[in-house]
Amino acid sequence: MANTKSAAKRARQTPRRTAINRRVKNKVKTAIKRVREMFESPEKENAPEIARKTVSILDKAAKTGQIHRNKASRLKSRIARKLAAIK
């Protein structure tokens, strides 16, 4: 049990923040997986839309600090290169 008021507040905040961070990271992982599956599939007509949505998710996660901004940039770069290669 928390001994101080600030420790009690931290004990209340931590589960809430952990849940938010986990939700965002799962969203990022799912988006990356969806993009990889799309690039491996023979039908690529909706590739730009999926890539755009994934880039948006990565930007939001990097802006709030759930993933590092350089990681987001690296992943976006890889998506852009693969997208340019299929056009």
Read off the pTM: 0.86
Rounded Cα distance between 6 and 78, Å, is 43
Rounded Cα distance between 76 and 61, Å, is 12
Q: Rounded to an integer, what is the distance from CA 64 to the centroid of its chain?
A: 11
Written as tens digits, the pLDDT of the chain (87 aa) is 789 999 999 999 999 999 999 999 999 999 999 999 999 998 888 999 999 999 999 999 999 999 999 999 999 999 999 999 987
Show the domains of the chain with their CATH numbers: 5-86 (1.20.58.110)
